[in-house]
Chain A
């Protein structure tokens, strides 16, 4: 019982919370060693979480249900946290700036903490209801969550940008260690482009699946509509770059507004509105 997926996920929760704290310490006190530690701890957490996800998959087969661990809110939160860490670590590796971690890893740790500690979230492995039994389940969830994770990171970068922009005079201190506004702006843009592609693929795989399951590829269900609203927000961000005066601060704001829309698509629709995606709220 000790070496079960839920044990590994609890462990992951604490590791990610620790990693987020380390990134914050690295940023605020500018200790290089702590930054390296944060990366090592995050990577270790990722390995444990990956094993946990694999184990949960195996456990579902042992229970006789046999499905990928992507079928309810608990599993989706674990996956969201996992993929956010993956996207962040790729960016860290590419850009080589650990300060970004202080703004990205909190999303992953919050998702895990919410999944682990909220009394309203069922963490048992449940069998798949008939509507979810489809090969499109994995493709749809993975594409959507790659989008969500990228937007989470873009939001973190947006917050960083506004922070940096506000105190642009400071070349030292906690603002000084942040990447340049110009670099942040470009990073936000790149991350949004990446997320937008996955969100689009997520919407398309969802449409193909809906066409197979319900006979209509678009039914203006609240989840669909909110994913489209999110899509419009990020499409705005991409087009706004062509209009003068829409770079920098406005794009940073759009990255934050877009992520609020993502969060509403993810949670708000499940809890506040009713619709075809209601199984996501259990």
Chain B
């Protein structure tokens, strides 16, 4: 990367942004500053930081946005500089790579071949006949592979076997992949959303709540939770959280999936993840007005249940699974006029209460847990771009470090009035393997030329 094309007169800003020194500085800066957000808790309320760190340090936290380090202005500036550095480095290197890529490796002379990192030459007293020439060429071809030929180079024939020239482009894939990943992240940030919802069993929603802003996001369809289930191992550790979901479109069931952690439901680009759950108590009461038949009413926590015949509302204020060995519930009663009262019910004990002019009988017939499933809901149209970037990153990395550009030359001609054969080669990676290969050709040529070792 330090090589620069002399034909370019760069400004100092251009040079600053294209230097590997800046890249190294930014990598170190990112490494060090990233530590901050792992030490200071992230995403808490400002009150929390004031209480934990005191007023002085709190000011620093606020200015540097250390409560959200990785989205703070200075961290984004570092990432911006990092991207700029990548782009400018790429642009600066491009002409150089083009030159390398376009270079005609057949336009060399025999003197240069003898200056290559790997070389061997044979001087032969008599002329080479056709058969020995052919056997030399085929020995070369056997190891070196496909080759090009030019006649009349320095008064001889030149053969070139070249492999992996394209590998010069690997570094652009590697660096470009980081930009692709950043781009994918931005697409997700601007065109997607992240939200969550607590959905009670049996209920349907058509919107979710944005995680950051608290806004409602309409889904364009509805989701119903049919059932939520937890199972446990023998030792009491949780084994599985499972939600049975149904997608409804205009009240018609269109899709069904049972989701667990690690196996979400996808529908129209929106993904639903099993994230948490809550259990709330739910009681069933039998209630009657003196002589009328009994009705059954189910009351959940956090919700009012209406007894339509009498226009009375009931709520569950408290629930105790065991009072003297029996479940008990504190029931709230209210009517249309705004009057309200409450009382305790113990299972097995019928209770009478007076409301206005009427006397009612009520008893607790059943109590159970009702589950709410906690779903993370996400839409991220950029995620495929991120995976593409990751793939390019890995492939680019492999090319940069493991695909060599190998060149092997064979020259047969006359030098200093003697018939001469030159074998030479150059590689930019994996010199050991290359050396082995070129030694193989050398041995084959030795035997073709009748040289004893």
Contact = CB atoms under 8 A, between A and B. Distances in A.
Contact of B233 (A127, A201, A220): A127
A114 interface: no
Contact of A214 (B21, B39, B273): B273
A220 B383 contact: no
Contacts of B390: 204, 207
Nearest to A126: B237
Interface string B375-406: 01110000100110010011001100100000
B20 A242 contact: yes
Nearest to A231: B31
Given A197-B398, A232-B31, A216 B239 contact: no
A65 B264 CA distance: 23
Contacts of A127: 233, 235, 237, 239
Contacts of B35: 229
B54 interface: no
Given A130-B240, A242-B20, A212 B262 contact: yes
A129 B2 CA distance: 51
Contact of B376 (A214, A225, A226, A243): A214
A273 interface: yes
B277 to A, nearest CB: 11
A213 B261 contact: yes
Given A131-B261, A193-B401, A242-B1, A200 B238 contact: no
B143 to A, nearest CB: 22
A129 B322 CA distance: 30
A174 to B, nearest CB: 28
A235 B24 CA distance: 8
Contacts of A201: 394
A218 B387 CA distance: 12
Given A236-B24, A242-B20, A243-B24, A134 B262 contact: yes
Interface string B170-213: 00000000000000010000000010000000000000000000
A213 B27 CA distance: 30
Nearest to A130: B261
Interface string A236-266: 1001101110100000000000000100000
Interface residues of B, number: 48
Nearest to A244: B2
Nearest to A228: B34
Q: Which of B27, B35, B235, B271 has the most CB of A within 10 A?
A: B27
Given A215-B378, A216-B378, A129 B238 contact: yes
Contact of B42 (A130, A131, A208, A220): A220
B410 to A, nearest CB: 29
A213 B275 CA distance: 8
A243 B398 contact: no
B27 A130 contact: no
A243 B194 contact: no
B390 to A, nearest CB: 5
A263 to B, nearest CB: 14
A217 B238 contact: no
Given A127-B237, A130-B241, A208-B387, A240 B24 contact: yes
A209 B394 CA distance: 17
A129 B237 contact: yes
A215 B28 contact: no
B21 A200 contact: no
B262 A213 contact: yes
B348 interface: no
B262 A273 contact: no
Interface in B1-34: 1-2, 20-21, 23-24, 27-28, 30-31, 34
B70 interface: yes
A104 interface: no
B81 interface: no
Interface string A109-144: 000000000000000001101110110000000000
A236 B1 contact: no
A154 interface: no
A201 B398 CA distance: 12
Interface string B236-262: 011111000000000000000000111
A204 B24 contact: no
Interface in A139-197: 193, 196-197
A214 B2 CA distance: 43
B31 A229 contact: yes
A31 to B, nearest CB: 29
30 contacts: A127-B235, A130-B261, A130-B262, A133-B260, A134-B262, A193-B401, A197-B394, A200-B393, A207-B390, A212-B262, A213-B261, A213-B262, A213-B273, A214-B273, A215-B377, A218-B185, A220-B42, A220-B69, A225-B37, A229-B31, A229-B34, A232-B34, A236-B24, A236-B28, A240-B24, A242-B20, A243-B21, A246-B24, A261-B31, A273-B38
Given A201-B394, A212-B264, 16 more contacts: A127-B237, A131-B261, A131-B262, A133-B261, A197-B397, A197-B401, A207-B386, A215-B377, A215-B378, A217-B386, A220-B42, A220-B69, A225-B70, A229-B34, A232-B31, A243-B21
The 6 closest A-B pairs by CB, nearest first: A232-B31, A130-B261, A215-B378, A222-B38, A134-B262, A215-B273
